[in-house]
Amino acid sequence: MTTILLARHGETDWNAERRVQGHTDRPLNEAGIEQAQELAEELADERIDAVYASDLARALDTARAVAEPRGLSVTPLIGLRERNFGTWEGLLDEEILERFPEAHTGPWGDDETVEQMETRVLEALLQIAEDHPGGQVLVVSHGGPMRAMLRRSGLAGQRIANGQVAWIAVEDGTVRAIESAADGRLHE
């Protein structure tokens, strides 16, 4: 079993504005930099054998805040990216609902489906687990990938804040929620 500390990147200006980011590469804002530091502090006493992140700056910079004080490098993986929302990226939620009435009841975005994103992220996590059997690995990704993996692990329907971490186990091609060794609570 490989333990994955699955974290969401810190906040960007687009998060604060409720703009769809997807694959658009946006930097952390001041609050996001603080959230990355808070994540590093939260995980300071945890064993971390390796650090992976989406290749987008907001995830990489969040991961570096945890990795660098430990002397670890961050391995960027495109498979950990947020869902690609296509032409919807950069739009505010209300702009999407005005321009795309089907968004009220249908899927969001016109490029990558939720299922495609979920498959891509799961493949990345399975590879990480294969490369670190029995390890404890930090993976910094995005809200969509986290929701998808938490759904698979039985923690569906939860809001995921920027800088939040969830503990999951990857074993035999599956993911499941686990408790942290530190305090016996689920990190949700």
Phi, psi (rounded to 5 degrees) for 27: -80, 165
Is 82 marked active-site? yes
Q: What tokens were used for 139? A: 């993976």
Contact 169, 4 (CB under 8 A): yes
CA–CA gap between residue 59 and residue 81 (Å, rounded): 9
Q: Which helix (H) or strand (E) holds 150?
A: helix 143-153
Of 9, 23, 142, 187, the catalytic one is 9
CA–CA gap between residue 128 and residue 136 (Å, rounded): 10
Is 142 marked active-site? no
Of 23, 30, 68, 82, the catalytic one is 82
Question: ∠ at Cα 59 (41, 63), nearest 5°?
Answer: 35
- The DSSP letter of residue 5 is E
Q: What tokens were used for 177? A: 């929620």
Residues designated as active site: 9, 82
